[in-house]
Amino acid sequence: FSAAEPFAESLIATGRQFGIEEFLLVQWLAPLVSESPEFIVAVLFALRGSAAASIGMLISSAVNQWTLLVGALPAAFALSGGVVAPMLLDGRQREEIFLTSTQSLFALVVIANFRFSYLEALLLVGLFIPQLFLTAGPARWLHALLYLALAVGAIVLSPSTRHGVRQLLPWPGRRAP
């Protein structure tokens, strides 16, 4: 806790000097810096021919971020305020949450069949990079809808993806994998 605030403030001050939007710095650069050790370990696994361990490491990290971290935000908000109340989000924050959620859904659908091809990797990167430059609200909503449409399309059109997604969902009477 003692290092987080000075790190964030220094990051924002540096961004101001270079004319970089605060929101983008906090959203993209801070996580990149804090997650670089995981990424380095994943790269080392990949370089040593352990692709499964590498992708497993990255998936584990992403699942932790997308579930535990995001799920803990309302609890942290309530604890810090001393009262259970909804988190009020501005328009940009709602866009980001929706975009991140649809991106996460698409990534989950892509790996649901436990195969990850070069084409799928390129597709994920190709979809991710433009969102760094799309700062207008309508463009971000459309980008999120594209992720959603691709996720639904993959489920509908790919039997192996559909089967993988079914295996991930809890069904009454079915044992967990």
One-character DSSP codes across 23-39? HHIIIIIHHHHHHHHHH
* Higher pLDDT, residue 143 or 27: 143
Distances (CA, A) of 170 to 71, 156, 166, 174: 19, 19, 8, 7
Asked if 84 and 100 sit in the same domain, the reply is no
Give the end of a domain, one of 88, 105, 140.
88
Asked if 129 and 63 sit in the same domain, the reply is no
* Cα 34-72-88 angle, rounded to 5 deg: 105
* Cα 47-50-52 angle, rounded to 5 deg: 130
Provide mean pLDDT across the span 121-135.
84
* Predicted pLDDT of residue 18: 83
Query: Among 18-27, 132-141, 149-158, where is mean pLDDT lowest?
Result: 18-27
Asked if 14 and 39 sit in the same domain, the reply is yes
Q: Which residues contact 109 (CB under 8 A, 6 or more apart)?
A: 151, 154, 155, 161, 165
Per the structure, the count of domains in the chain is 2
Report CA 126 to chain centroid distance, whole Å. Answer: 15
* Percent of the chain residues past pLDDT 70, beyond the cut: 85
pTM of the predicted model as reported, rounded to 2 decimal places:
0.69
Provide mean pLDDT across the span 34-52.
84
- 58-73 tens-digit pLDDT: 777 776 776 666 677 7
| pLDDT at 149 exceeding the cut of 90 | yes
* Predicted pLDDT of residue 35: 73
| Mean pLDDT (the chain, rounded) | 81
* Predicted pLDDT of residue 176: 57
Residue 138 CA to residue 98 CA, distance in Å, equals 12
pLDDT band at 87 (very low <50, low <70, confident <90, very high): confident
Distances (CA, A) of 13 to 18, 25, 27: 9, 10, 15
Structural domain boundaries enclosing 126: 90-177
Longest dimension (CA), the chain: 58
Asked if 137 and 66 sit in the same domain, the reply is no
